[in-house]
């Protein structure tokens, strides 16, 4: 179905056409209204600050595609909401608007409610360089479905 980048204009139509769509654990206004930069707490174990990157995206697991919401991102990985359970160490691909698919590895998955799993994924190639992180995520901040 997908093998290239998906344009910003096409992403909402394609996202809505997928039968497997993530539900948000909170309202859309609350989800999209989060502060853009969420710094790591002083007692946090995180290496990099997380950027609230509230944007719809598409996840591919094996041969199935799912409509997901990206929650936040750092140079090491992303947090997202998925409609299906993903098991740690599974490899997935994620499409953000106007970007080539990203190869990711699932690190954790926690069920929030029906059709809503809170998932943490890491980039399979390791941490992103600062310039590539800005290119991938700074242009999508604040975009809505």
CATH code assigned at 84: 2.40.10.220
pTM of the model: 0.83
C-beta of residue 90 within 8 angstroms of C-beta of residue 105: yes
- Helix-, strand-, coil-residue percentages of the chain, each rounded to 5: 15, 40, 45
56 located within any domain:
yes
CA 102 – CA 91 distance, rounded (Å): 10
* Residue whose token pair is 């946090």: 44
Tens-level pLDDT at each residue, the chain (145 residues): 555 666 677 788 888 999 999 999 877 666 766 665 555 454 567 777 777 878 899 999 999 999 999 998 888 999 999 999 999 999 999 998 888 899 999 999 999 999 999 999 999 998 888 888 888 776 554 454 4
Q: How many domains does the chain have?
A: 1
In a domain, 145, yes or no: no
> Is residue 143 in some structural domain?
no
């Amino acid at each position: 179905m997908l093998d290239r980048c998906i344009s910003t204009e096409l992403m909402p139509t394609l996202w809505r056409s997928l039968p497997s769509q993530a539900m948000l654990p909170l309202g859309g206004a609350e989800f999209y209204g989060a502060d853009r930069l969420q710094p790591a707490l002083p007692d946090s174990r995180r290496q990099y600050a997380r950027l609230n990157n509230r944007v719809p995206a598409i996840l591919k697991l094996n041969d199935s595609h799912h409509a997901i919401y990206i929650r936040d991102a750092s140079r090491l990985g992303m947090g997202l909401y998925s409609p299906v359970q993903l098991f740690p160490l599974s490899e997935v691909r994620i499409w953000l608007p106007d970007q080539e698919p990203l190869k990711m590895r699932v690190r954790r998955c926690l069920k929030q409610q029906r059709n809503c799993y809170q998932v943490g994924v890491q980039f399979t190639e390791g941490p992103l360089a600062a310039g590539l992180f800005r290119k991938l995520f700074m242009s999508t901040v604040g975009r809505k479905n």
